[in-house]
Structure 1
Amino acid sequence: MEKTWVLIANSERAYCFERAGSNHSLTQLADFTHRHQRLSDKAREGDLTGAAGKGHGRTAHAGTQFEPHTETHAKERAAFARQIASYINDGVAQKLCTSIVLIVTSPMLGELRSCLDVAAKKLLHASAVGDLTGFAGAELKSRVDSAIQSSGGKS
């Protein structure tokens, strides 16, 4: 029996569903929430990741060397993508699914795909850009079916 995992995500919420049966019903397997509170606490303490740092360059003369700037939100999004991808990679390794569908917002889709291991990428059946995290029940099922069809994946 085919077990398709459908991941629906944006940069703050993600849900993993199993799509099974002849009616393609969705059963929720996991719910991820990205907490931005850590970021707010660090900002108040002045401990921002990616802040400029002083140092000496390779020439060993006095000067200022800055770390490449990476937007803090991009780092947080990448960490969230790694968390979700780890769940998917583990499921693939345990043979809990036979195919994967990603319906994810644009910035997260790139992050997530880069974090999937080779085995998970081989099971990637379809992907679509969109945010379906606000939908549930029959409306969610309908939108998932439409996204899979429009992305060229099998329904």
Structure 2
Amino acid sequence: MNNTWVLVANASTAHLYATERLGEEMSVLKEFSHSESRAKGSTLASDRPGSNQSRGSSMGSMGDPLDPKEFEAERFATELAKEMDKGRVNRDFRRLVLVAVPHFQGLLKSHLNNHTRAMVVNSINKDFTAFGTRELPGRLKGCV
């Protein structure tokens, strides 16, 4: 069993790797794609806000509580967190490393349950999703 899972992610793409040690050979476990995060905000939201009845006789408009792109990033972070939680329950890894830009990293951590969050041994604030299994170990070694 590889002891460490490394999740390399951004708001629309993620790669899950397994390794014995960070900075050494890695194998791809799973790849994730969330194309909705790449869509334009205007295509994700309706063209007009809804309306709500206020106490008086006038009607007010309701804006979206969350930016559509942010909403999709939240959905993707939730999906990834569930996958990490499932791996922890199945004892597929002992340590977890998260590699993502700070904002998306925060979303990921907020969706991990406490037990899985406790297994995070390193958080790297970079977007390394463009690197493959040849380049990634060297990049990660330089960040540790």
TM-score (norm. length: structure 2):
0.85
**Aligned mates of 1:56, 1:22 — CA distance in 2:** 56
Displacement, 1:65? 4.0
Among residues 33, 51, 56, which one is paired with 2:53 in the alignment?
A: 56
Q: Which residue is 1:8 aligned to?
A: 8
Kindly provide the CA deviation profile for residues 15-38 of structure 1, in whole angstroms up to 9, marking residues without a partner as x.
010111698321111100111299
Kindly provide the CA deviation profile for residues 50-70 of structure 1, in whole angstroms up to 9, marking residues without a partner as x.
95221112x263321424542
**Aligned mates of 1:35, 1:83 — CA distance in 2:** 13
**Aligned mates of 1:116, 1:81 — CA distance in 2:** 9
Q: Which residue is 1:77 aligned to?
A: 73
Equivalent position SS for 2:135:
helix
Structure 2 alignment gaps of length 5 or more? none
Kindly provide the CA deviation profile for residues 87-137 of structure 1, in whole angstroms up to 9, marking residues without a partner as x.
001101111110100010222111111000111111010001101111123
Letter in 2 for 1:141: P
**Aligned mates of 1:56, 1:130 — CA distance in 2:** 45
**Aligned mates of 1:50, 1:86 — CA distance in 2:** 32
Structure 1 alignment gaps of length 5 or more? 150-155
Displacement, 1:71? 1.2
Q: How does 1:82-101 map to 2 (within 5 A)?
A: 82-101=78-97
Q: In angstroms, what is the RMSD of aligned CA positions?
A: 2.7
Q: Which runs of 4+ in 1 moved over 4 A?
A: 37-40
Between Structure 1 and Structure 2, the one with more strand by share is 2
Q: Which residue is 2:112 aligned to?
A: 116
Cα separation, partners in 2 of 1:76 and 1:54, compared to 1, 3 Å: same
Q: How does 1:14-25 map to 2 (within 5 A)?
A: 14-20=14-20, 24-25=24-25
Task: Count how many residue pairs are aligned between Structure 1 and Structure 2.
Answer: 143
Percent of paired sites with the same residue: 22
Displacement, 1:5? 0.5
User: Does the CA contact (< 8 Å) of 2:7 and 2:16 recur in 1?
Assistant: yes
